[in-house]
Each structure stands twice: as structure tokens, then as C-alpha cells.
């Protein structure tokens, strides 16, 4: 399975979210004012830097570390679902949806297909990779909840 496309797709996705058309931080703040207010430009740089780095690691090691590579593919797919769900829920375009659908979904589907066809993994591996990806995808949310809790604690 070729993971080389993931870092470039991730970079394009981040550009769509924050540069053109941009506005993803505003979407986060609008969707969840209590936690979204902690979604600062620094937050975006750190979270997306970690995300692109994870994709780079998958490009380098994903073939040799099959479950890790599959988990990053699964992260792309879960992120796609999140963007589509956000677009549907808000009834407005959610920045990042286009690159998620045009890049992430085909990359993930191709990666799953190749992994399954090679016989080196099975449906259980895909399911486990999705569970790991859910953990990755929770990191930004958990960090926003933690920031709110720390702020509340400091205020009391």
C-alpha cells in the first residue's frame, strides 16, 4: 500500500480549512462556543502540525508497520465523515469537506482495498485501525475540553 499521497493530501486539506476558503476556526467556535473559543491559531498550528507529521510518518513507515499505516488511512476517512456531518448539520459548507471527499476518501478506499487484497490484513485489522483513528481524531476535542476545564479551575 502506498502512503506517499497522505502528507500532500493532508497539507492541501489544511490549506482548505484555514487559508482558502478557510474559516475552520470560526466553524469550531460557532459549533461549540464553550469549547470552540479555545480553538486559537496556535491550537490549529499544533494540531494540524501533528496531523501532517503523522501522515509523514505513515508515508515513511506505513508499509512496514501495516496497522499504523491503516490507522492513518482510517483517520483520513473519519475526518472526511466529520466534515460531511458538519456540512449537513450546519446546512452550510464546512471548510475541508472538498479535499476530504476528493482526496481522503479515494486514498483510504484504495489503501483498504490494497491491504485486503494483499492478504496481509483482514477486516479485523481495518476495524482496529478505525478504533485507533477514533483515538487520534479525539485528540483535538479532548484538548479543547481540557483547556476549558483548566480555565474553569483557574477561575475558581
C-beta separation of 115 from 124 below 8 A: no
Provide the residue ranges of all domains of the chain, joining segments of one domain with +: 5-155
pTM higher than 0.85: yes
**What CA–CA distance (Å, rounded) separates 28 from 34?**
10
Torsion of CA 73, 74, 78, 79, to 10 degrees: -30
3-state secondary structure of 1: coil
Cα 115 to chain centroid, rounded:
20
Q: What pLDDT sits at residue 1?
A: 62
Residue-wise pLDDT tens digits, 12-50: 999 999 999 999 999 999 999 999 999 999 999 999 999
**What CA–CA distance (Å, rounded) separates 18 from 46?**
13
C-beta separation of 96 from 16 below 8 A: yes
How far CA 32 is from CA of 90, 110, 117, 142, in Å, comes to 12, 34, 41, 13
Residue-wise pLDDT tens digits, 120-146: 889 999 999 999 999 999 999 999 999
**What CA–CA distance (Å, rounded) separates 96 from 100?**
6
How far CA 147 is from CA of 39, 117, 144, in Å, comes to 9, 43, 5
Cβ-based neighbour number of residue 59 at 10 Å: 19
Q: Confidence band (pLDDT; 50, 70, 90) for 63?
A: confident
Amino acid at each position: 500500500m502506498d502512503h506517499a499521497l497522505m502528507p500532500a493530501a493532508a497539507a492541501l486539506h489544511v490549506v482548505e480549512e484555514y487559508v482558502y476558503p478557510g474559516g475552520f476556526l470560526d466553524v469550531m467556535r460557532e459549533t461549540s462556543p464553550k469549547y470552540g473559543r479555545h480553538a486559537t491559531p496556535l491550537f490549529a498550528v499544533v494540531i494540524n502540525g501533528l496531523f501532517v507529521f503523522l501522515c509523514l510518518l505513515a508515508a515513511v513507515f506505513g508499509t512496514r508497520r501495516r496497522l499504523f499505516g491503516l490507522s492513518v488511512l482510517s483517520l483520513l476517512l473519519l475526518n472526511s465523515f466529520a466534515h460531511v456531518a458538519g456540512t449537513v448539520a450546519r446546512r452550510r459548507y464546512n471548510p475541508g469537506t472538498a479535499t476530504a471527499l476528493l482526496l481522503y476518501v479515494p486514498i483510504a478506499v484504495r489503501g483498504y482495498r490494497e491491504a485486503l487484497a494483499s492478504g496481509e490484513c483482514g477486516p479485523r485489522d481495518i476495524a482496529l485501525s478505525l478504533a485507533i483513528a477514533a483515538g487520534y481524531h479525539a485528540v483535538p476535542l479532548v484538548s479543547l475540553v481540557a483547556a476549558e476545564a483548566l480555565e474553569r479551575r483557574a477561575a475558581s
